[in-house]
A and B are shown apart, each in its own frame.
Chain A
Amino acid sequence: MSFLEYRLKLAPSGIAKVFYINWALILVLTAIAAIGWLMLYSIAGGEMDTWALPQIKRFGMGLALLFVVAFVPIWFWRSMSGAAYLVAMILLLVVEFFGTVGMGAQRWIDLGFMRLQPSELMKVTLVMMLAAYYDWLDDKKVSRPLWVLIPVLLIVAPTILVLMQPNLGTSVMLIMAGGAVMFAAGVSLWYFGVVAAGGGGTVAAVIFSEGTPWQLLHDYQYKRIHTFLDPSADPLGAGYNIIQAKIALGSGGWAGKGFMQGTQSRLNFLPEKHTDFIFTTLGEEFGFIGAISLLALYTLVLVFCIFAAVQNKDRFSQLLIIGVAVNFFLYIAVNLSMVMGMAPVVGVPLPLLSYGGSATLVILLAFGLVQSAIVHRPR
């Protein structure tokens, strides 16, 4: 009999669960989403119907989903982990062969009311799968090579499928979120050291071999890498988006140009202004103060998650919450580094702000799981 099952009698049941939900977290998430609606309204030139209203509806749907998931006991979700992972893998395979390619080369399945991106779903199911795996696995075996290989394969398989779409941003997030769960589960630091050293060494070898007789890649491949890393070298092509994004952010100054006054977004200089680059409009219209406030709200979400993970004594719950938090953090870090010109442009949305169904629903679903873990934690 496990620790969790032993303590089950103390878990809340029925309508009483409402009192155990972390309402502060939900409030912060809604606040973030509300900022998103404001920006979508502004970008559409003062129109609700274009982007803001559909996004509010999706958020409402996602919030309902969150409560449904939160009310279902966490051990149910643990037992569903394997199945969920399998479904997500099958969906990935389906879109690989039958899906529709859209903007940013992300593949989706049209469900009629929304477009489902299985790669977004996989971000959550991978975390669930790994958490369930380490919950099941004997503590003493976590660092044994064979038992390390299994989660590595669980991570690599969907990553390869996503990479083939091609969707570099999501691939990176899958690897890093998966790695984070493994790290939290207590896998020996040596493995991470070796992977880091191996990866770093390969990158170093590729970079330093350029121009030498033993050069590892073709010249044109190096050229692509350079454009990817330094878009400003190509100001009208790949670099255009990032230059315009930086202009929008920078021209906002301290307090911004004011709501609906952003010239960069209103006059269409910004690319993807309602999706991946939505943060630039925030920076332009509300300035440094607006931008740093959003960052503070995001940080608050992360703090809540870390706190919930530390407080929880259930291993599955702990790992799941950490996995979700890392995913959430990666969305933010990758997107913001990208629009602020600190990292190459890869298609990663800003969570709860960017216009889009899959990411919003999946994020709220994930926080539903977090809430379930909080509600049903052993007391």
Chain B
Amino acid sequence: MRRTPRDTEATSRSVTRRALVMGGGMAAMVAALGARMRFLGVEQADEFRLLAEENRINIRLIPPARGLIQDRNGKLIAGNEQNYRVVITRENAGKTDEDVQQVLNRLSHIIPMTAEDLSDALKALKRNSAFVPITVADRVSWDDFSKIAVNAPALPGVTPEVGLSRVYPRDSDFAHIVGYVGPVSEKDLAGLENPDPLLRIPKFQIGKIGVEKWMEDTLRGSAGTKRIEVNAVGRVMRELDREEGVKGKDLRLTIDADVQNFVQARLGDESAACVVIEVNTGDIIAAVSSPSFDPNLFVRGISQTDYSTLTEHDHRPLANKVVQGAYPPGSTFKMVTALAALEAGAVDVNTSVRCPGYLEVGGRKFHCWKRGGHGKVDLQRSLAESCDVYFYDTAMKVGIDKIAEMGRKLGLGQRHDLPMSAITEGSMPDKAWKREKHKAEWVIGDTINASIGQGFVLTSPLQLAVMTARIASGKMVAPRIIHSINDQPVDIAPAESLGLEGSKLRAVQMGMFEVMNGANGTAKSSRIVDETMRMCGKTGTAQVRNISTAERDTGVVSNDRLPWKQRDHALFVGFAPADNPRYAVSVVVEHGGGGSTVAAPIARDALLRALTGTLPPLTAYPADQRGRMETLLNALQLRLPDGSQPAPSKV
């Protein structure tokens, strides 16, 4: 390049000047950068330090073990079982999709997996980050679990894991009382004001019905936490520290699992309910609704077919008939009418009524169940032989309001507070009730129907048991099912007296004694002959259809010839021992026929089972029944002492 001469001294001075100006500019910028460093690293350091910690530290909840549920003797009803599952992590399974596919294929030869399971697992693996473990098989058996452990080298990325899941070892026996757990639904969350963060854990299970649901807070326990360090994409780097949660509290129920199982078996395939209750404490010893179902199915996720089978069954296995069923009590209600009348002074023990087989009121005939009538009956006979006309007449003397008052006093028409779902109030009608509910005036016919537990009166098996317990003890016993929490007995106040005069109460109890033990007692064939365990009771047969005049003239169609749905409900209430009552029982067999033939024998066996603590001894039965009873009792499919169900005997 050609150069032209020029004054270099001058130009270099000019360059120097401008270079220094630029140097100044640079210095200013450097100062600004330094100031910014100071601002971030010194003045705002605390804030950024916090943000950095928030970035890296995640807090994870550790689900606590759920509390156990035991029967009154400590037998396990609901427990936690180790649940083996198989998880697979993509990044460890292989680099390419083919590798992962191959690992899954190998896995499917070791444990049972359908093609659908495989494609689901593959999809989930692709959808999630490479380090996220995906559950490919849940509830694998111990054998399969060990096979996977043995084959581990051929299954990169596959890890067998152990978790806890709820199990009900006495499967169907406690389905209605204890209920079952299931995954938290949106609906569950919506119902809670301040949901426990635990509930947000995927697949966390909470009680859905029964004790599991209503004692959820007690059983759940509280979550532990662990602080873990995660990187930018959420991979867990290490656990920083952990705080263990508090295990849920164990519950002990008042139920005796063996009595429960006996009654369950005794009810067989009937659509029925039976409650055994301790008369002084209100402890429910057994509360059986039949048929039942296996709650374990729900924990594992019930199949549509199984669910449809349960919902479409005409015996409604899902319903807890003990507290949800509202039945006309029939003649078992007669004690209420009798006590109301005695209390009001409308009748006394010796007042007698003539029964010609019907009572005509206002031109309408109200029939006694006995076509020819009972003749002259007093209180005791009317109970023993279940004369309807006596109670029609007595009820008219005392009036419905007094009867209803007595009914409520004995626990009818009210919701007993138990940790169970959909407990019915039943109905204990009076004049005000009818005005309110039906916008109609009470008529005398209503009183007559109510006097024998028909018409508007509806009761649940639980209410009937409570009523019987109150009659037997003369005390205001309230039913309870939670015996103790974490071995701390739940305090109960001693039941107050009903305030009924002893002689009147005894008159009614005597009537109930005659039902079982009198020469003409309606349930005398179900009597207990053992002196120490003799029982009192009352049969009931509730109509579920109207009997027309024409049918009555030609003879009432017997239950055997009616379709199942139109047959009468068989009811029975009772208690034993007669002289020193311990247990009260109520039995309702839907469309079972007569209370004396169907319900009373069941009640007797349940009482004997509760009283003796073993299988009912044959000596308790009348001699002529012993052979038949032996066969019946031996045929029952009872659980073995360890709670397992014996294999069905080969026919």
Residues on A lying within 8 angstroms of B by beta carbon are 1-3, 78-79, 82, 132, 135-136, 138-139, 180, 183-186, 244, 246-254, 263-264, 266-269, 283-284, 287-288, 291-292, 295, 298-299, 302, 306, 309-310, 312-315, 318-319, 322, 325-326, 329, 332-333, 336-337, 340, 342
Contacts and interface: CB of A to CB of B under 8 A. Distances in A.
B647 interface: no
B13 to A, nearest CB: 10
8 tightest A-B CB contacts, nearest first: A250-B48, A288-B41, A251-B52, A267-B231, A253-B45, A268-B232, A3-B8, A251-B49
B3 A250 contact: no
Contact of A333 (B1, B20, B33, B49): B33
Given A78-B1, A254-B45, A315-B15, A246 B20 contact: no
A319 B15 contact: yes
A288 B42 contact: yes
Given A250-B49, A269-B55, A295-B34, A326 B232 contact: no
A254 B42 contact: yes
16 contacts: A184-B18, A185-B15, A186-B11, A247-B48, A250-B40, A250-B45, A253-B41, A254-B45, A263-B52, A263-B229, A267-B55, A267-B232, A268-B232, A269-B56, A312-B12, A318-B19
A246 B33 contact: no
Interface in B188-244: 229-233, 237
Interface of B: 1-12, 14-16, 18-20, 22-23, 26-27, 29-30, 32-34, 36-38, 40-42, 44-45, 47-49, 51-53, 55-56, 229-233, 237
Given A247-B48, A250-B40, A251-B48, A263 B56 contact: yes
A183 B22 CA distance: 9
Contact of B18 (A183, A302, A315): A183
A318 B15 CA distance: 7
A2 B3 contact: yes
A315 B48 contact: no
Contacts of B232: 267-269
Contacts of A284: 52
B22 A250 contact: no
Nearest to A184: B18
A138 B33 contact: no
Nearest to B48: A250
A254 B37 CA distance: 10
Contacts of A319: 15
Contacts of A322: 15, 19, 22
A340 B15 contact: no
B3 A337 contact: no
A69 B27 CA distance: 29
Contacts of B33: 295, 332-333, 336-337, 340
Nearest to B229: A267
A184 B20 CA distance: 9
A139 B7 contact: yes
Contact of B40 (A244, A249, A266, A329): A249
Contact of B36 (A2, A287, A340): A340
Contact of A1 (B5, B23, B34, B40): B5
Contacts of B5: 1-2
Nearest to A255: B41
B36 A342 contact: yes
A184 B41 CA distance: 36
A190 to B, nearest CB: 14
B20 A306 contact: yes
B56 A267 contact: yes
A18 to B, nearest CB: 26
B52 A292 contact: no
A291 B38 CA distance: 9
A309 B32 CA distance: 24
Contacts of A292: 34, 37-38
A234 B30 CA distance: 29
Contact of B41 (A254, A266, A299): A254
B78 to A, nearest CB: 42
B26 A302 contact: yes
A291 B231 contact: no
B3 to A, nearest CB: 5
Contacts of A312: 12
A244 B52 CA distance: 8
A295 B55 CA distance: 28
A132 B1 CA distance: 9
A325 B556 CA distance: 118
Given A2-B8, A185-B15, A186-B18, 10 more contacts: A184-B18, A184-B22, A186-B14, A246-B40, A249-B37, A287-B41, A292-B38, A302-B23, A302-B26, A322-B22
Contacts of A318: 12, 15-16, 19
A284 B48 CA distance: 10
